Chains A and B, each alone.
Chain A
Amino acid sequence: MSAPLSSVEAIRLVAKREFVTQVRSRSFVIGLIVTIVLFGVVGAISAFIAGQQSTSTLGVTPGASALAPALEATARTQDLTLEIRDVAEAAGRSALAADELDGLLVADPGGRYTLLGRDAVDERLAAVVGTAVRQTELTEALRAAGTDPDALEARSTVAEETLEPVDPDRGQRLALAIVGTVLLFISLSGYGQLVATGVVEEKQSRVVELLLATIKPWELLAGKIIGLGAVGLLNLVVLGGIAAIAGISFGLLTLPGAALGMFAMVLVWYLLGFFLFASLYAAIGSTVSRQEELNSVVAPMIFLLLIPFILTVNLLPGDPRNPLATVLSYIPFFSQTVMPARYALGTAELWEVGIAALLALVAIVVVVRLAGRVYRNSVLRTGARVSLREALGRAA
């Protein structure tokens, strides 16, 4: 015999079904594997590119070999690992043609230098060689004029100091911020889309009428969002965990504390962002009747997620205290992407995160109510697309 069913129980049952169905589905497992492989490929490619750039080999003809100490000193200041090889010009040219050298420095009898490249001159090499030659010539000229080059150097140097200690881990923090931002973007857009698809599936298969004869629209909507949100959370935990373990074991990540903090921050902002976006996705999904119609109506949602993502990856790495980013990090629909990145970069205090989270919660309350109304008014109507005015109107 059936007993009264509480809302909590109804939501739990719906959420459990969504979770189990999704986690068991082939697309979830494949999606997870593809994302992991993608992460690995991107990592491998960047490691490869970094390895490529680390050493440059420069051939130096006998006439220019006196420059070697100056070249080495300059390369050090410019973070370039330079290997100098003394070669005759002819041998050097053939080595350059065979890609054994990255550049060949030739001095003609008149004392003029030429840097040869194969089909292009390596820019970093050109910078090092140019500086070294200029420096050497300048020193000689100064000596000839009777000025002590070292004294001039000391007088003309500007010392650099900062009020606060320089963060030696800036690079890692930046990497954490970028990885976190990308993970958030992928999760919010992916699982938001899944909510819309699920709503349309129920509408298209008409099972929604059977469900709504038993439970209330808001219970069904809440269960769906919570269930799929939990799948997204699981996905994030798995991916974030793998990324952290890989980072630590390859020695790329030496800040487990900061990484953990950022991880927690990503999870919190995922949840805040997910409720906000998923309810919008659900509302939009409920206004159409078939999957084919869905793509065109959810397109604006992608922009809504893409704009804060693009702003974050463009504004913050060069300028972690960018005023526009600081303002946006408090505004719902932007905060879920901008604030965790600011936090990872160390430019947002916890209380700032707290205020932004509170504002996001207020937005969630408003959006969930509106989305619930649209959903309730649209989900049983099939056929033509439900207009926004009808969807927001009073109960049908």
Chain B
Amino acid sequence: MLDIRGISKRFGTRTVLSDVSFTVRPGEVFGFVGSNGAGKTTTMRIVLGVLAADSGEVRWKDAPIDADVRRRIGYMPEERGLYPKMKVEDHLQYLARLHGLGPGEARSSTRHWTERLGIASRLGDEVQKLSLGNQQRVQLAAALVHDPEVLVLDEPFSGLDPTAVEVMSKVLRDKADGGIPTVFSSHQLDLVERLCDRIGIIADGRMVAVGTVEELRDRDHGVVLVVEGPPAGWADALPGVQVVAAAGTRTTVRLLGADDQQVLAAALAAGPVHEFRRHRPPLTEVYRDVVSAAAPERAR
């Protein structure tokens, strides 16, 4: 289990991270979301030891993380970077060797991942000759080539075409299913929602929410029901219920103490019910609400 405990970081007088904590369990894909400048990249850099935290610690398998463990992390930095003039094969083998693989393992692993990611035909080309999308695939191969025990990927999906997004999602899922804790950051919330087991939302250097998408939804929205059928007005006086929206024959209510059966009974009493369902707001909406709910707290 990758355990980030109470990390704080200041750059000069500016606090970038304050008391950030979350855990990523084996076999879990953890989505790390937040606006630009919220602290995602800084957190990941601290996990990799590229930056030092002012306080707090990063633990792996119940021990503080050290250089040897870090070498077994697969990392994709936000600032993509490879030697432009190095050949793809030489480059990946070099990185594999730096991560401690022997020459033979480095060669076979390079073959394996370039095939898996669809760039095997470009092994002999200089990195700079590849399209941006393909360079991105090489970058992912660079994170995977040493068979890492943990994956930390900063914006792995940015700049990818839909096919590459599919390939990459599949790779991440497979890696996680193989028991590897995987954490990635992204602004593509639909993708995060689809791919992640749990998500963490960071705003202004603080973790404002951590949990499954379901948990976050319930925490901030409560249960919201959509009822289609009886004309508006039937729910206005119902106890334990807040009417969120009512237009024509569609009424949206939030449960504040009442249970869904009471609501259904009240609706049926008012007229025929054609649709009765739970409203599940997309992650985008949940994210927006979580972040704005945290704002006054931060302003204090």
Contacts and interface: CB of A to CB of B under 8 A. Distances in A.
Interface of A: 1-5, 10, 13-14, 17, 21, 201-202, 205-216, 380, 382, 395-396
B111 interface: no
A205 B84 contact: yes
Interface stretch (B92-100, B163-171, B184-192, B218-226): B92-100
A205 B99 contact: no
A213 B45 CA distance: 8
Interface of B: 45, 48-52, 67-68, 70-73, 75, 77, 79-86, 94-95, 97-101, 105, 142, 146-148
A52 B101 CA distance: 65
B98 A205 contact: no
B81 A210 contact: yes
Given A4-B71, A5-B98, 6 more contacts: A5-B71, A205-B84, A209-B77, A210-B81, A380-B51, A396-B51
A2 B146 contact: yes
Contacts of B101: 2-3
B97 A213 contact: no
Nearest to B80: A206
Given A2-B71, A5-B99, A212 B83 contact: no
Nearest to A211: B98
Mostly helix, strand, loop or mixed at chain B's interface? loop
Contact of B50 (A13, A205, A380): A380
A214 B95 contact: yes
Contacts of A216: 67
Given A13-B97, A212-B50, A2 B81 contact: no
Contacts of B71: 2, 4-5, 214
Which of B49, B51, B75, B83 is the most central at the interface, judged by chain A CB atoms within 10 Å of its CB? B83
A213 B77 contact: yes
5 contacts: A14-B98, A21-B85, A213-B48, A214-B99, A382-B79
B99 A206 contact: no
A138 to B, nearest CB: 76
A213 B75 contact: yes
A13 B101 CA distance: 12
A2 B97 CA distance: 9
B81 to A, nearest CB: 3
B45 to A, nearest CB: 8
Contacts of B146: 2
Contact of B49 (A1, A13, A213, A382): A213
A353 to B, nearest CB: 39
A213 B86 CA distance: 19
B204 to A, nearest CB: 21
Contacts of A212: 50
B79 A206 contact: yes
Given A2-B147, A396-B51, A209 B98 contact: no
Given A1-B147, A2-B72, A214-B98, A207 B50 contact: no
